[in-house]
Amino acid sequence: MLSKKYPKEVKQILSKYPPEGKRSAMMPLLFLAQREEGYISKAAMQDIAGLLNVTETEVAGVVGFYTLYHEEKEGKYRIQVCADLPCALRGAEGFVKNLCDNLGVKVGETTEDGLLTIEAVMCLAACDKAPMFQTQGPEGIKYHENMTVEKTMELVEELRKSAA
C-alpha cells in the first residue's frame, strides 16, 4: 500500500539507512503513512512491518508510545495540551478544563464539527511557558506557548475559517 502509493518517498526514506539498520526508517515511514488521513491504519502498519522486516507488534508499539502518531481518525487538528507536573503547577489543568468547557468537549473528545480533538499529553519541553500546547494538522506541528483560553479560542476561530 505505502510503497505503491508513495514509491519515491518510500525509496528516498529507505535509502538513508543501511540494509541492516532499515528498521530505523520506521518513524519517517509512519509520518508518511499518517500524512494524508491524519492517522495510521492497520494496513499501513502491516505494510511498514513488511518493508522493514519487523513484526506488526513492533510497529504498533511505536505508534502507541509516541503522541505524534494516531491509530484512529479524529479531528482535522489535534490540540495537545502539556499536562505534566511543571505545566500543571503553571495552570495547565485549569486551562485544559476551561478550554474543553468552551468547546463543549472533554479531554480525548472531538468537537461536533470534527475539526478539533483535545488531548492531554506529557512533556512538550516548554515547562516555563505553560500553559502551552501543540497543534497537529495538515500544516504540521506548531507550538503555542503562554496561552490563555481567550487566545486559544481566537486560534480555534482561525482554524475554523481556514477549514471552511
For residue 10, give the CATH number of its domain.
Answer: 1.10.10.1590
What integer pLDDT is reported at residue 100 of this predicted model?
97
Mean pLDDT to the nearest integer, 53-80? 91
Q: Say yes or no to pLDDT of 150 above 90.
A: yes
The domain containing residue 82 runs over which residues? 77-163
Q: Read off the DSSP letter of residue 76.
A: S
Q: Considering 65, 96, 120, which residue would you say is the last residue of a domain? A: 65
Q: Say yes or no to pLDDT of 46 above 90.
A: yes
What integer pLDDT is reported at residue 138 of this predicted model?
81
Q: What percent of the chain has pLDDT over 70?
A: 100
CATH number for position 101: 3.40.30.10
The answer to whether residue 71 is domain-embedded is no
How many whole angstroms separate alpha carbon 118 and alpha carbon 108?
A: 5
How far apart, in Å, do the first and last CA atoms of the chain sit? 30
* Number of domains making up the chain: 2
How many whole angstroms separate alpha carbon 121 and alpha carbon 101?
A: 18
The answer to whether residue 72 is domain-embedded is no
Q: Within this chain, do residues 45 and 11 fall inside the same structural domain, yes or no? A: yes
Instruction: Report pTM.
Output: 0.74
What does the radius of gyration of the chain's CA atoms come to, in whole angstroms? 18
How many whole angstroms separate alpha carbon 97 and alpha carbon 105?
A: 9
Mean pLDDT to the nearest integer, 123-134? 93
Q: Within this chain, do residues 14 and 83 fall inside the same structural domain, yes or no? A: no
The answer to whether residue 70 is domain-embedded is no
Q: Say yes or no to pLDDT of 2 above 90.
A: no
